[in-house]
Chain A
Amino acid sequence: MNGGTGAARKIVLGFPLGWMLLFTLLPALVVLAISFTEKRLGAPPFTPLLVPGEGLLPDLNASGDNYALIFSDSLYIQAFAGSIRIAAVSALITLLIAYPMAYALARVRTGLRTPLLVLVVLPFWTSFLIRVYAWSSLLNSNGVINTLLLDTGLIAEPLPLLNTEFAVHLGIVYSYLPFMVLPIYAVLERLDWTLLDAASDLGAKPARAFFRVTLPLSMPGIVAGLLLVFIPALGEFIIPDLLGGSDTLMVGPVLWNEFFGNNDWPLAAALAMLLLVAVLVPAALVYRLARRAEVAT
């Protein structure tokens, strides 16, 4: 390879690498650094991590107090547990709704595919915040749903829909559905349907053929979809804030409150770092499971 293309190659590969270093890794390191400082009044609202020392090298003024506090206070633990549970359950519900949609998209005649795909991504044309806010007015005790049910006489009292965990699940499933539909559709669209003919020919009834052939072969799309829903849902702030109740404890609102309410940047930073770990652990686990399944079968 000559020098010219070598340089071009470096630029092409270097640009995304540089971008990631500058806008992903560096900010994460800054947050990591802040998580080991202590809250103080002033600007910035945290103690410096490095202070001038005796010699040439500065002394490290790190404190693990924020992490210790998080692990000792059940509020934070419950918030994490709540986030993980709600994100996991929502991701599974999303999967159950999205899979049949993706399947139908892949099997419908080609002329119908594009309009249906447009319908799947259509909600993105409206702001996320507005869509979630719309749900809060739909679920209100004098919102459309309750009014309709009351008017038809199906219920006597308005149903408590808003400010419940149910509303949070609903908001997550509704908001992230396209992220599940699209990767599964991408896999099913490329599936060789002759394989199902073969399964049937070999004696498999349709349901058996689905579980032995279609489902295993759609795993890459399912894994991608689960991660794409679980990860943002875990740190979700707007949905629990607008639709959740006082009993819906999730990390997002807690973190927001530490940062903006209590102005405790170090504690908020420590929560953010733990959230990052909480995202990375299941992601790595799912990735390894998927790899192992691929090797084993």
Chain B
Amino acid sequence: MDADQDRPLTGGDAPPIIRIRGVTRRFGGTTALDGVDLDIGRGEFFCLLGASGSGKTTLLRAIAGLETLDSGTITVDGDDMTGWPAYRRPVNMMFQSYALFPHLSVEKNVAFGLQEERRPRGEIRERVQETLDLLEMGALGARKPHQLSGGQRQRVALARALVKRPKILLLDEPLAALDKKLRERAQAELVSLRERIGITFVVVTHDQEEAIGMASRIALMRDGKLVQVGQPRDLYDAPSSRYVADFFGAANLFAGTVAGVTGGIATVDSGEAGADLRALCDGQSAGAAVTVMVRPEHIRLARARPAHANAMTARVGALSFLGSFYACELTLPTGKSVRARLSPLEFEAAGRPAQGDESHVWWEPAAARMLSQ
């Protein structure tokens, strides 16, 4: 997660390259985008993340000019895009299905956009070759899309958008159509490609791991609204709500009421946990209804009851070895189930628990977060 620090962020005082204000889009009775406000910085690798139907693709298409807005404005590099048709906007899109022209060769697909700009023939040939070479597709220019593998098609789609030298590249689920192995490589390539060419990437994905792995910042969307915007680490460590905590990886959530706060650590009376929980306080005061979130990797197991805060007895349920870690399902006396993720070392230290054993769970108060919603 230290790699986060190297990724470009929206640069302090520099004006954002995309400024989205009050953007609303309705389809019949459903509201696909509901008053979205968002700034995306120059050179960012920005992820729009959300479940299907959250409005993320509609927002991407709105930036591209492929959706008309019911209200709100989108500004790209200082120009208000309202009334600009897609064919005039300085942005290009890579479609989820790639949308390669099946009747045109790879070269002609890539040349399409430059021909529309009425560039001289020589320049078109040069830039097409240059872009295909950049994506290691230089030798396949004469092929038709149906003669390419999925990974090669993805590169052609990228080349076709990049050759226009857009200010912003929009990518709709760029990795969804690739198989798992290829996906991991393509993900790393997208990140390094953005670094080499330096333009802003806006990527739509439904996969939180993909978003964490690529993005400088993430906007999590739900029902046409932004739920939380921030760096991957912010969303993972400090989710603003139960929804975000749940969406970003596994989370153990305990509802409760703040009993008191001392030294930045709150004591939460949680019926679900059947105990008083200690968690890092985020400004909540006594009496507030909160949710305590603990990530599975922060749950510790001990054979004997430890003399720590947040210690509870628990019965070991399903246990599976997943290579680099053990996934363990435990049940508290209240019936609440707790998910833990143990490294093989922790697993040994906990005395190799087996299904049905009585064990003890605990976690550091600093590893527990309090969510107000």
User: Does B95 sit at the interface, judged by CB under 8 A?
Assistant: yes
Bound-state CA distance A217–B145 (Å) is 14
A201 with B103: CB separation less than 8 A: no
* In the complex, per-residue mask of B127-151: 1 if CB is within 8 Å of any chain A CB, else 0: 0000000000000000000000000
A160 at the A/B interface (Cβ < 8 Å)?
A: no
Contacts of B116 in A (CB 8 A): 202-204, 208
List chain B residues, Cβ under 8 A from A279.
none
CB 8 Å contact bits of B96-114 with A (1 = contact, 0 = none): 0101111111001000110
Q: Is the CB of B95 within 8 A of A197?
A: yes
Q: Shortest beta-carbon distance, B164 to chain A, in Å? A: 7
Contact present for A217 and B93 (CB under 8 Å): no
Q: Known contacts A202-B92, A202-B160: does B99 contact A217 (CB below 8 Å)?
A: no
A191 → B minimal CB distance (Å): 10
The CA-CA distance from A120 to B190 in the complex, in Å, is 50
Q: B87 near A: Cβ within 8 Å?
A: yes
Cα(A218)–Cα(B116), bound, Å:
21
- Choice from B87, B102, B160 contacting A200 with Cβ under 8 Å: B87
Q: Are B99 and A198 in contact (CB under 8 A)?
A: yes
Interface residues of A in 182-213 (CB under 8 A from B): 192, 194-195, 197-205, 208, 212-213
Closest 7 CB pairs of A and B: A202-B113, A203-B116, A198-B99, A200-B86, A194-B99, A201-B93, A203-B87
| A297 CB–B CB distance under 8 Å | yes
User: Is B85 among interface residues, defined by CB-CB distance under 8 A?
Assistant: yes
**Docked complex Cα distance between A169 and B95 (Å):** 45
Instruction: Decide if B101 touches A213 in the complex (CB within 8 Å).
Output: yes
A201 pairs with B112, CB closer than 8 A: no
A212–B97 CA distance with the chains assembled, in angstroms: 19
The contact sample of 13 A-B pairs, CB cut-off 8 A, is A194-B95, A194-B99, A197-B86, A197-B99, A198-B93, A200-B87, A201-B65, A203-B87, A203-B88, A205-B87, A208-B116, A216-B103, A294-B103
B117 beta carbon closer than 8 Å to chain A = yes
Q: Which residues of B contact A294 (CB under 8 A)?
A: 103
Given A195-B99, A197-B95, A208-B116, verify A202-B105 contact (CB < 8 Å).
Answer: no
Q: Bound state CA distance, A192 and B92, in angstroms?
A: 19
- Is B64 part of the binding interface, using a Cβ–Cβ cutoff of 8 Å? yes
Question: Which residue of chain B has its CB nearest to the CB of A195?
Answer: B99
CB pair A198–B102 under 8 Å, yes or no, is no
Do residues A197 and B87 form an inter-chain contact, with CB atoms below 8 A?
no
Contacts from A to B (Cβ < 8 Å):
192, 194-195, 197-205, 208, 212-213, 216-217, 294, 297
Over the window 65-86 of chain B, the binary record of Cβ atoms lying under 8 Å from chain A Cβ atoms (1 yes, 0 no) is 1100000000000000000011
Q: Which of A194, A200, A202, A204 has the most CB of B within 10 A?
A: A202
Asked if B97 contacts A194 (CB within 8 A), the reply is: yes
**Central interface residue in B64, B102, B103, by most chain A CB within 10 Å:** B103
In contact, B105 and A297 (Cβ under 8 angstroms): yes
Counting chain B CB atoms within 10 Å of each CB, which of A192, A203, A213, A216 scores highest? A203
- A204 near B87 (CB under 8 angstroms)? yes
Q: Which residues from 183 to 205 on chain B have a C-beta closer than 8 Å to any C-beta of chain A?
A: none
- Chain B positions within 8 Å of A194 at CB level: 95, 97, 99
A217 to B33, CA, bound (A): 34
* In contact, A202 and B66 (Cβ under 8 angstroms): no
Most buried by B among A198, A205, A216, A217: A198
User: How big is chain B's contact interface, by range?
Assistant: 20 to 34
**Distance (whole angstroms) from the CB of B91 to the closest CB of chain A:** 8
- Assess the B95–A198 pair: CB atoms within 8 A: yes
CA distance A195 to B112 in the complex (A): 12
Chain B residues, CB < 8 A from A212: 112
Q: A208-B116, A297-B108 are in contact. Are A201 and B87 (CB under 8 A)?
A: yes
Set of chain A residues within 8 Å of B86, measured between Cβ atoms: 197, 200-201
Q: Besides A194-B95, A202-B87, A213-B101, 13 other CB < 8 A contacts? A: A194-B97, A195-B101, A198-B100, A198-B101, A199-B101, A200-B85, A201-B87, A202-B112, A203-B87, A203-B113, A203-B117, A297-B103, A297-B104
Contact B97 A201 (CB under 8 A): no
When C-beta atoms are compared, the residue in chain A nearest to B112 turns out to be: A202
A197, A201, A208, A216: most-surrounded residue (chain B CB, <10 A) = A201
Contact A217–B103 (Cβ < 8 Å) = yes
**Smallest CB gap from B118: residue in A:** A203
Residues 161-190 of chain B, each 1 if its beta carbon lies under 8 Å from chain A, else 0: 100100000000000000000000000000
Chain B residue at smallest Cβ distance from A216: B103
**Hey, which chain A residues are within 8 Å of B88, CB to CB?**
203
Partner of A192, one of B99, B113, B164: B99
List chain A residues, Cβ under 8 A from B85: 200, 205
How many whole Å from B341's CB to the nearest CB in chain A? Answer: 40
**Chain A's nearest CB lies how many Å from the CB of B96?**
8
Residues of chain A within 8 A of B105, CB atoms compared: 297
Closest to A297 in B: B103
User: Hey, which chain A residues are within 8 Å of B103, CB to CB?
Assistant: 216-217, 294, 297
- Rounded to whole Å, the gap between the CB of A196 and the closest CB of chain B is 9
CB distance from B361 to the nearest CB of A (A): 50
For A217, what are the chain B residues with a Cβ–Cβ distance below 8 Å?
102-103
A208 (CB) vs chain B CBs: closest residue:
B116
Which of B64, B87, B93, B97 is packed against the most chain A CB atoms within 10 Å? Answer: B87
Residue of A nearest to B97 (CB): A194
Chain A nearest CB, measured from B15 CB (Å): 25
Cβ contacts under 8 Å, B97 to chain A: 192, 194
Closest Cβ–Cβ distance, residue A297 to chain B (whole Å) = 5
A203 to B92, CA, bound (A): 9
Partner of A201, one of B92, B101, B102, B117: B92
Chain B contacts of A297 at CB under 8 A?
103-105, 108
The docked-state distance in angstroms from the alpha carbon of A195 to that of B105 is 15
Cβ of B92: which chain A residues have Cβ within 8 Å of it?
201-202
Min CB distance, A218 to chain B, in Å?
Answer: 10
